[in-house]
Amino acid sequence: MVKYRCTVCGWIYDPEIGDPDGGVAPGTAFEDIPDDWQCPVCGAAKSEFEKVD
């Protein structure tokens, strides 16, 4: 599964870990995260994330 990086602060979303505190279960693909979700570190919107190559 593809990781995504927050372009505002650099935090990496790892689908295997998810963001449980933010309501995103481990194993959730980035595309399946609700649009109103925010970066847990800096609050950036989902739209400010980029795919990690």
Partner 1 sequence: MAVKLKEGVYWVGVVDWALRHFHGHELSTHRGSSYNAYLIVDEKVVLVDTAWTPFQDEFIKNVSEVIDPASIDIVVANHAESDHSGSLPAIMRHTPNAKVIVSQRGKESIEGHYHQPWNFKTVKTGEKVNIGKHDLVFVEAPMLHWPDSMFTYLAGANILMPNDAFGQHYATAFHFNDEVNQVELYEEALKYYANILTPFSPLVLKKIDEVLALNLPVDMIAPSHGVIWRKDPLQIVNKYKEWAAQKPGSSAVILYDTMWDGTLHMAEAIGEGIASEDIDYKLFHVGLSDRNDVVTEIFKAGAVVVGSPTFNQGVLPTIRPIMEDLRGLKFQNKIGAAFGTYGWSGEGLAIIEDHIKNCKMPLVAEGVKAKWQPRPDDLSKCRELGVKVAQAIKGEK
Whose structure tokens read 């505190």? Answer: 21
Q: In angstroms, rounded to a whole number, what is the distance separating the alpha carbons of residues 15 and 2?
A: 7
**CB of 6: closest distance to partner 1 in angstroms?**
9
**CB of 4: closest distance to partner 1 in angstroms?**
15
The answer to whether 49 and 31 have CB atoms below 8 angstroms apart is no
Residue whose CB is less far from partner 1, 29 or 52 = 52
Residue whose CB is less far from partner 1, 21 or 36 = 21
Q: In angstroms, rounded to a whole number, what is the distance separating the alpha carbons of residues 39 and 49?
A: 9
* Chain residues that interact with partner 1, rule: CB under 8 A: 8-11, 21, 41-42
